[in-house]
Structure formats: C-alpha cells, structure tokens
Amino acid sequence: MTAESLAQASNYLIAAATVILALAFVAHVAEWALSKRVAGDSDRATSSEIAAGIGRSVTTLAWGILLASVVSRGLAAHRVPWGNMYEFGCAGVLLLLTAYLVLVRRWGSTIDWAGAAVTGFGTTVLGASMLVYVPAGPLVPALHSYWLVIHVFAAMLAGSGFTLGAILSIAHLLKMRNEDSLVRLPSTARLDELAFRVNAFAFPIWTFAALIAGPIWAQHAWGRYWGWDPKEVWAFITWVVYAGYLHARATAGWKGRAAAILCLLGFATFLFNFIGVNLFVGGLHSYAK
Amino acid sequence: MSSAPALSRREFARWIWRQLTSMRTALLLLLLLALVAIPGSLVPQLSVDARAVEAYRMAHPGLAPWFDRLGVFHTYTSVWFSAVYLLLMTSLVGCFVPRSLDYVRALRARPPKAPKNFDRLAAFDRFDVDGDAPVDVMAIIERAQRELGRARVDVVERDGVVELSAESGQLREFGNLLFHVAVVGVLIGVAVGALFGYRGSAIVTEGDDFSNVLTQYDDFASGALFAPESLPPFALHLDAVDARFQLTGPQRGAPRYFAARGTWSTGTSGGHEKPFKIRVNHPLKVGRTSVFLIGQGYAPVFKVTDAHGTVVFEDAVPFLPADGTYTSSGVVKVPDARPQGLGFQGFFLPTAISTGKHEAPVSAFPAAANPFVGLFVFRGDLGMNGGRPQSVFVLDKSRMKQIKLGDGTPFRVSLTPRQIADLPGGDEIQFVGLRQYARLQISSTPLAAVPLGAIWLGVLGLVISLSVRPRRTWVRAKRSSADGRSRTVVEIAALDRVRSGSGLTDHVRRLARAIKGEEDE
C-alpha cells in the first residue's frame, strides 16, 4: 500500500472506531438504565448483564479498529503516530481503552461498571480530535528526535492513567453522597483504593515524562532543560496537584472527599494543558496543527 | 492587653515552626505553588520572550504597569513565587529531617510488642495445630519465621508462651524520605546551574564569523556567579544555512529540515579548523558549552550610494520572520549618508505573489523562490551617535522624516534581486542579493547531571513508597490443657500501616497454612 492509501485507510478506520465506540457507550448506558430500575428483579438484572456484555465486546472491537488506524497512520507518515494534537488524541484513547480492557480482565466487577464513562470519554476525545485533524505527513525539525517516542508516549500513558483515576474519583464522590445508592459501584473505600492505585501507577510515569524525558529533550533541542514554556508550566502544575493528592491521602482531614477532589483538579490541569495550552496559549510546544 | 496568656517569643517561634512543618501546611503550600505558577503561563515572560512582553505592554496599557509592579512578567523570579517555594522547601526540610531521625531509630528498635487481644486487629486467626502428636511451639514459630521471609523478627518466650513480632515494609518510609531529599536535591542542582550558567544568542549571516566573546552576542543572560572571562574561547565561520520546506500536499510550506554548516576552532582566532553541522536537536558541543540552531531567516544584502556617488552602505541585513511563510520585517540604517542620514523600514518576502494591482504582495512560500523587498524611507538623524545602545531591528524615527510623494502618500521602494531604486534627492539603493542567517544560541548549564540524577532518585523513592506496604504481624503459640486435653493454640494477627484491601486477610491465611504445614492451594 502506498502512503496515501494508508493515510486514507487510517482516516476511515478512525471514523469507524468513533462510531463503534459510540455504540459501545450506548450499550453501557443501557446496562445502567436496565440495572437501575429494579435491583431484585432477576430478569432485569439479566438484560442489564447482556447489555454490559455487548458493551464490552463492542468496546473490544472499537479498540481493534482504533489500533489498526493508529498503526496505519504511523506507517503512512513513517514515524510514531503521536506527533501532533490529532494523533495524540487518537493514540491516547487507544491507550485508555487498552488500560481499561486490561483492568476489566484483572479486576473484573470492581472496574467493569466504568464502561460507560470510558467509552463516553473516548468517543468525545476521538470526535474532538477530528476538529484538529492534520493530514498524515512528516514533522517539523524540532520533533525529529527519538525523544518524541519516549517523552510523548510516557505522557499519553500517564494521561490514560489519570483519566481512569478521575473516573474512579467521580464514582467515589457520587457514592459518598449515599453509600447504599449505585449498587453496581464498589464501596467508597474500595473506590478510593482503586483510584489511588491507578494514580500511583500514573504519577511516577508522569514524573518521568514531564520532569525527566522532557527536560533531557529540551536540553538537546532548545539548550535549556527547563524554560517555563506554558506546556512545561502546566505539566509542573499537574505534577504538583497530583503530588498534593498523594499527600492528601496521608493527611488527617484531607482523606476521602478532599483527596478525590484534588484528583479531579489534577486531571483538569492535565486536560487544560492538552486542550487550552495547545489551542489558546501557544509557546514552544505548539504542535496542535 | 489581651487576656489570653501571652506566648513567649520562643514558644511563638516553636508554634510557627510546628505549623509550618505540619503535613497540612505542606499540602496547602504545594497547592499554592501550583496556583502562583499559573500567571507565568498566561502572560508572556521576560526570560522567555522579551519581544512578546513588549507587544503585551502595547496591547494592554492599563494592565501592564500593574503587572510590572507585581512582577508578573517575571513570575518565576518574583517575590511571591519565591516566597511560596522557599516556605515549601523549609516546610519540607523541617518535615523530613526529624522523620529521618525517627526512621533510623525505628530501624534499630525491636519490632513492637504483640498486643494483648489479637481479635481487635484488622486481620486475625486462631486455631489448634495438634494432630496425633503434640507440636512443639518453637517449631511453629520457626515455620512462621520462614514464611515471613525478610521481615525483621523478634521472638519472646515467657511462661511457655512464645510470641513472635515481625515488621516488614520499612522500605516504604525510606522511599518516602528519598523522594523528599531528591526534590531538595533537584532544586539545589537547578539553583547552582542557574548561578553559574549562561545563555545568549547571536545572529550569524552566511559567510560571517562568530567568536565567543560577550560583545558578539545579541542578547546574553547569565547567573549571578558567572564570570565573563570563563566563556570558553572558540570561533566559528558559517558557510551556509540549509532550510528545506514541504513542497507539496496539504502541509506545503511546513519546515522539514534546518542545518547550519561551517568550520570552527578553539581559541578566538586561528587554531585547527574543524567542520561542523548544527541541526535542530543536534547542537555543536564545545566542552561544556553547546551551540544550538534555534532559528534562521533571510538577510538581504543592500548597497546604498548617496547623492555624491559614495557607497555609504553595503552589507547583509537580517530581517526577522513574523510568520510561517517567512514574511519578515527589518530596518536598514545608513547613518553615513550625506547630507542627511538615511533609514529604511520595511518587509521582505521570500516568495512574493501579487494579490491585485493596488495590493501589497504577500509571501506564498517560506523558501526564497521570488524574493522581494518593500521599504519606506526616512531621512534625518538616526540617533546612533549618542552612545546609547540601539536595537538593530528598530528605527528611532524621533528625529527623522518620512519621505513622501507629492500627493502625501509615503514613498515606497520595491525591489527584487539586483534591482536599483532611485530615491528623491539623488541617492540610490540596490538589493544586491540574498543571504541566509542562523540564529545561534550558545549556552552552558553546569551540573545539569545533578538535578537529573536527583530526579531519578526521586522517582525511585516514589515507586518504593507507593508500592511497598508496611505491615506488622504477630504470632502467639502456647500449650493449653483446657477440657482435660493438651493442645497447641496458635493466634495470628496482622496490621497494615496504610489503608489496604483484601491483601491483609490473604496474608494471615497464608501464614496460618504455613504454620499448619499445609501445602499452598
């Protein structure tokens, strides 16, 4: 296949993955709607389980198509497929789905309720990525470095961890209002622990991406390892807020609710760095287009 | 006078210190640090882009003076930002020094003694182990010890009751402390690098030389302890700048490849010449100093002849690119023209295309396919004799007059390469040819390995502190002869010192199986 036809295939596959992921989202919403009505009714519970099963299968299908799309994009451009905002969005959702599907296999019912949130968020990001679409092609000279592979991949990996952590923290806050509601969710203590485990995985990776790989590359490319570029500032802010989150879980009066809010605040700074700084602030990291 | 008993100064200082080093304060300071970092990302910074600050001042005349007063244009060296991070550092040091001492003490201490009632602990089990023959209590303790592996273990025997206390996962606190020490190490490393380091940039045109002395820099910033004599002596000659752009497709005009080629030698003049090629991401390294290619652009060569026929100017003039198509702006200063000084201000287009008969041309592509220069002309005193330093990109027009046509519209010179334009008054200007320039950054950050090493240690500490679980386990075994039958009763209890899930119960179950001598399932 030529580069053009690969790029074209990648575009079709992205569109297909977005639609299929949206269908998975619908299935997961149905799973909730059916389980919510009557807790004790076994027929209802079964139809909810069927919807959940469909949701998971369709999510796996979307994952496969997205994987094919991201790979063909990389082949078309002759480089790793995360060189601009569009590609970061697509590859980031791929990692998020991967993380979610792996965790569903490992943790089972303690995480599979998150299907609606994960597929909903993923569909939104894929759809929004179309708004910053850039045709497949080579990159500006500043990005001609193997650090692109390491630095950006680590940022994406940490980002998908933060996303799952934020979903768990939202569930935690919802469940906190009434421990007996939302029976499908695990207990608040369990949600708190899961959120912590996900964030404790993502935070060292974020530290590596933002405070090790980034500065090393910046030293090679721009002659200084830290220059308070807007992207660097917000990466630092995200780091500080998540450090605060990990701290809060060990501080009296900050456990539970406050920690969950800090986790969401940290995720908000991460999202702002990805969207706000790319599109509205500018700086040396302006690779949105 | 207040009625509450006054704190003595010493007590007050202690109170302040205790407040500052508390977890809660550290947490608030951490969040405050994130908050005060925000302005610097939204408002241009002097240390990052001084020209952007200038543009911001022009665009916000009401706000800018306040930002100046508050130091928003240099957020990361401002009083308030420094105050927050210095307080945070103090709080951090005040927190981890006593904790380190506690940690060392705890490492030497014996594991804590078993509590009286095991059934109050988070995980607990009690069972008899005798089958046909009575089991020796010490054998039970030995089995438990083998199962507990690397934990620190203490065994006490009193009145036939044997108690085992074990503590594991003390590495967690070590990781914690390592992380905090590393953060301080990073900041010290960064501070030292900033104190002794320097960074400057210079525009070097093809065919020109640069030698590493202070006067050759266009801008230069250095740390407080940097000595200008310590600039390593070297010189370079720039032969050519290679710039390639995407020719076809939707990304037409996007930059693809930049390089600066030439020769360099150590020592300010002469010496053995070695070739160099600097690309983005691939600087030239001269000892601990590196030369980076951070930009490039066009320098049209002009020749100006005054009314007397004297060539008063002949040089390449760098124009600063303003957008992706390299539409560039610049000025030409000719103070030696007679009878009055001449100044030109205008733009350069690498690939000019016409958009209409009366419209100004625009640049369609960043490579120089159809170079074009448009200049307005000024006459008068350029203000270059006062000894005050002037930017080469700004024309001081305060004592100059723009040349205008009869109908009052500004007189404009439009030139393509080798064209000559006559000016009213008998002077002439020629666009002789085109050269490219490289914007080189020369910088040195001493001890960059210190913050790098420290942050690696920090990540190591982080991973340890987030993955190791501190756990205390107790086993008590005794002979009991209630109900007229002699038995060996074993009690196990365990406690995690951080919140945990089901792991603790599993741990107790595993230990019980090992003591009973059962195989793992």
Q: Specify whether B267 is located in the same domain as B351.
A: yes
Q: Is residue B457 part of a domain?
A: no
Give the integer Cα–Cα distance in Å for B305 and B426. Answer: 9
Bridge partners of B243? B258
Closest by Cβ to B27, choosing from A189, A227, A254: A254
B406 Cβ contact partners less than 8 Å away, ≥ 6 residues apart: none
Is residue A93 predicted with pLDDT exceeding 70?
A: yes
**Three-state secondary structure of chain A:** CCHHHHHHHHHHHHHHHHHHHHHHHHHHHHHHHHHHHCCCCHHHHHHHHHHHHHHHHHHHHHHHHHHHHHHHHHHHHCCCCCCCHHHHHHHHHHHHHHHHHHHHHHHHHHCHHHHHHHHHHHHHHHHHHHHHCCCCCCCCHHHCCCHHHHHHHHHHHHHHHHHHHHHHHHHHHHHHHCCCCCCCCCCHHHHHHHHHHHHHHHHHHHHHHHHHHHHHHHHHHHCCCCCCCHHHHHHHHHHHHHHHHHHHCCCCCCCCHHHHHHHHHHHHHHHHHHCHHHHHHCCCCCCCC
Q: Does A132 touch chain B (CB under 8 A)?
A: no
Mutation target vs B (from A86, A107, A207, A261; most B CBs, 10 A cutoff): A207
Name the nearest CA neighbour of B283 among A221, A134, A129, A205: A221
Query: Quick one: B347 and B492 in the same domain?
Result: no
Q: Which of A208, A225, A244 sits opposite B27 (nearest CB)?
A: A244
Residue B365 forms contact with A (CB below 8 Å): no
pLDDT class for B268, splitting at 50, 70, 90? low
In this prediction the pTM is 0.86
DSSP state of B281: T
CA–CA distances in Å: residue B49 to residues A259, B72, B156, B326:
37, 14, 69, 19
In this structure, the answer to whether residues B150 and B52 fall within a common structural domain is no
SS (HEC) of B282-329:
ECEEECCEEEEEEEEEEEEEEEEECCCCCEEEEEECCCEECCCCCCEE
Q: How many CB atoms lie within 10 A of CB B499?
A: 12
The residue out of B51, B76, B106 marking a domain boundary is: B106
Among the listed residues A77, A34, A78, A26, the one whose alpha carbon sits nearest the alpha carbon of residue A55: A26
Q: Nearest residue of A to residue B74 by CA position?
A: A228
Residue A233: its chain B contacts at CB < 8 A? 37-38, 40-41
Q: How many CB pairs under 8 A join A and B?
A: 141
* pLDDT for the residue numbered B499: 64
Burial grade of B332 (CB within 10 A; 0-12, 13-18, 19 or more): buried
Predicted local distance difference test score (pLDDT) of residue B1: 46
- Type of residue numbered B62: G
Q: Do B412 and B315 belong together in one domain? A: yes
Residue A289 pLDDT exceeds 80: no
Average confidence (pLDDT) over A4-23: 93
Token duo for residue B351: 């690939």
In this complex, do A237 and B251 lie within 8 Å of one another by their Cβ atoms? no
pLDDT (mean) for B419-444: 92
Q: Could you tell me which chain B residue has the CA closest to the CA of A284?
A: B48
Position B482 scores a pLDDT of 67
Question: What average pLDDT does this structure show over A234-254?
Answer: 86
Contact at 8 Å (CB) between B498 and B465?
no
Model pLDDT for residues B17-40, shown as the tens digit of each residue:
888 878 888 888 889 999 999 998
In this structure, the answer to whether residues B479 and B396 fall within a common structural domain is: no
Q: Is residue B34 part of a domain?
A: yes
CA-wise closest residue to B318 among B433, B440, B203: B203
Are B206 and B74 members of one domain?
no
The string of pLDDT tens digits covering residues B453-473 is 999 999 999 999 888 888 888
Q: Which positions 140-199 of A are in contact with B (Cβ < 8 Å)?
A: 140-142, 144-145, 189-190, 192-193
Span of B64-78, B99-113, B299-313, B474-488 with lowest mean pLDDT? B474-488
How high is the ipTM of this complex?
A: 0.86
Mean predicted confidence (pLDDT) in A264-285: 88
Between CA A144 and CA A147 the distance in angstroms is 8
Asked if A224 has any chain B CB less than 8 Å from its own CB, the reply is yes
Mean pLDDT, all residues of chain B: 86
CB–CB contact B459 A204 (8 Å): yes
Is there a contact between B34 and A137 if contact means CB atoms under 8 Å apart?
no
Reply yes or no on whether the pLDDT at B417 is more than 60: yes
- Report the domain count for chain B: 3
Q: Is residue B453 part of a domain?
A: no
A5 interfacial to chain B (CB closer than 8 Å)? no
* Residue B185 covered by a domain: no
> A240 CB near a chain B CB, below 8 Å?
yes
Tell whether B170 is within 8 A of chain A (Cβ): no
Same domain, B318 and B213: yes
Six-digit token string for A131: 């708004």
Same domain, B162 and B206: no
pLDDT band at B390 (very low <50, low <70, confident <90, very high): confident
Q: State which residue of chain B sits closest to A200, comparing Cα positions.
A: B466
B300 contacts: CB under 8 Å, gap ≥ 6: B316, B317, B319, B348, B371, B373, B431, B432, B433, B434, B435
pLDDT in tens, B149-199: 877 888 888 877 888 888 888 888 899 899 999 988 998 888 888 888 888
- pLDDT range class, residue B5, cuts 50, 70, 90: low
List CB contacts of B21: < 8 A, sequence separation 6 or more.
B90, B91, B94, B95
Contact A251 B24 (CB under 8 A): yes
CB contact (8 A) between residue A230 and residue B282: no
Q: What is the pLDDT of residues A213-231, one digit of tens each?
A: 999 999 888 888 888 888 9
> Does A64 contact B at CB distance below 8 Å?
no
Domain that holds residue B474: 114-169+469-516
Instruction: Tell me whether A250 touches chain B (CB under 8 Å).
Output: yes
Residue A43 has pLDDT above 70, yes or no: no
| Residue A233 touches chain B, beta carbons under 8 Å | yes
Contact with chain A for residue B283, Cβ under 8 A: yes
Torsion of CA B208, B212, B218, B221, to 10 degrees: 160
* CATH number, residue B486: 3.30.310
B47 contacts A228? CB cut-off 8 A: yes
CA distance A64 to chain B (A): 29
Identify whether residues B369 and B412 lie together within a single domain.
yes
Report which listed range, A277-281, B119-123, B250-254, B332-336, is most confident.
Answer: B332-336
Note whether residue B459 is domain-resident.
no
Whether residue B366 sits in one domain with residue B280:
yes
User: Are residue B336 and residue B439 in the same domain, yes or no?
Assistant: yes
Q: Give the confidence band of B346 by pLDDT, cuts at 50, 70, 90.
A: very high
**What value does the mean pLDDT of chain A take?**
89
Chain A residues whose CB is inside 8 A of the B499 CB are 189, 192-193, 249
- Domain endpoint, select from B106, B124, B153: B106
Does residue A287 register a pLDDT over 70?
no
Q: Which residues does chain B have within 8 Å of residue A216's beta carbon, measured at their own beta carbons?
A: 452
Q: Look at B251 and A246 and tell me if their CB atoms are within 8 Å.
A: no
Q: In this complex, do B76 and A211 lie within 8 Å of one another by their Cβ atoms?
A: no
Structural domain boundaries in chain A: 1-87+105-134, 140-289
Report the C-alpha gap between B421 and B303 in whole angstroms.
11
Is the Cβ pair A233, B38 closer than 8 Å?
yes
**Arithmetic mean of pLDDT, B371-386:** 88
Residue B484's pLDDT band, with cuts at 50, 70 and 90, is low
Confidence check: pLDDT of B435 > 90: yes
- Fill in the amino acid letter for A6: L
Residue at B188 is within a domain: no
A267 contacts in chain B (CB < 8 Å): none
Closest residue in A to B446 (Cα) is A224
Q: Is residue B423 over pLDDT 60?
A: yes
How far A31 CA lies from chain B's nearest CA (Å)? 27
Residue A235 has pLDDT above 80, yes or no: yes
User: Does A275 touch chain B if contact means CB atoms closer than 8 Å?
Assistant: no
List the beta bridge partners of residue B300.
Answer: B434
Q: Which of the residue ranges A128-142, B221-235, B424-438 has the most confident prediction, judged by mean pLDDT?
A: B424-438
Give the highest mean pLDDT range of A153-162, A211-220, B17-26, B109-118: A153-162
The answer to whether the CB of B490 falls within 8 A of the CB of B128 is yes
CB proximity under 8 Å: A 7-26 to B: none
Sort out which chain A residues have CB atoms less than 8 A from B290's CB and list them: 223
**Would you say residue A136 has pLDDT above 60?**
yes
Q: Are strands B400-402 and B412-415 parallel, antiparallel or unpaired?
A: unpaired
Look at residues A157, A161, A191 and name the one whose alpha carbon lies nearest to residue A174.
A191
pLDDT given at position B521: 46
Does residue A40 carry a pLDDT above 70?
Answer: no
For residues B168 and B107, the answer to whether their CB atoms sit within 8 Å is: no
Closest A-chain CA to B462: A204
Gap between the Cα atoms of A220 and A218, Å rounded: 5
B314 has a pLDDT exceeding 90: yes
Q: Which of B41, B217, B441, B467 to mutate to test the interface with A (most CBs of A within 10 A)?
A: B41
Same domain, B350 and B493: no
Mean pLDDT of the A125-133 span = 92
Q: Would B341 be classed as within a structural domain?
A: yes
Contacts of A236 in chain B (CB under 8 A): 34, 37
Q: Is the pLDDT of residue A45 over 70?
A: no
Cβ of A250 within 8 Å of Cβ of B254? The answer is no
Nearest partner of A136 among A207, A87, A204, judged by Cα: A87
Q: To the nearest whole percent, how much of chain B has pLDDT over 90?
A: 31
Lowest average pLDDT, out of A210-214, B143-147, B303-307, goes to B143-147
Residue A228 at interface with chain B, using a CB cutoff of 8 Å: yes
Structure tokens at B3: 């009625």
pLDDT band, residue A177 (cuts 50/70/90): confident
Q: Residue B21 in contact with residue B91, Cβ under 8 Å?
A: yes
Per-residue pLDDT, averaged over B123-134, amounts to: 75
Please tell me if residue A212 touches chain B, with a CB cutoff of 8 Å. Answer: yes
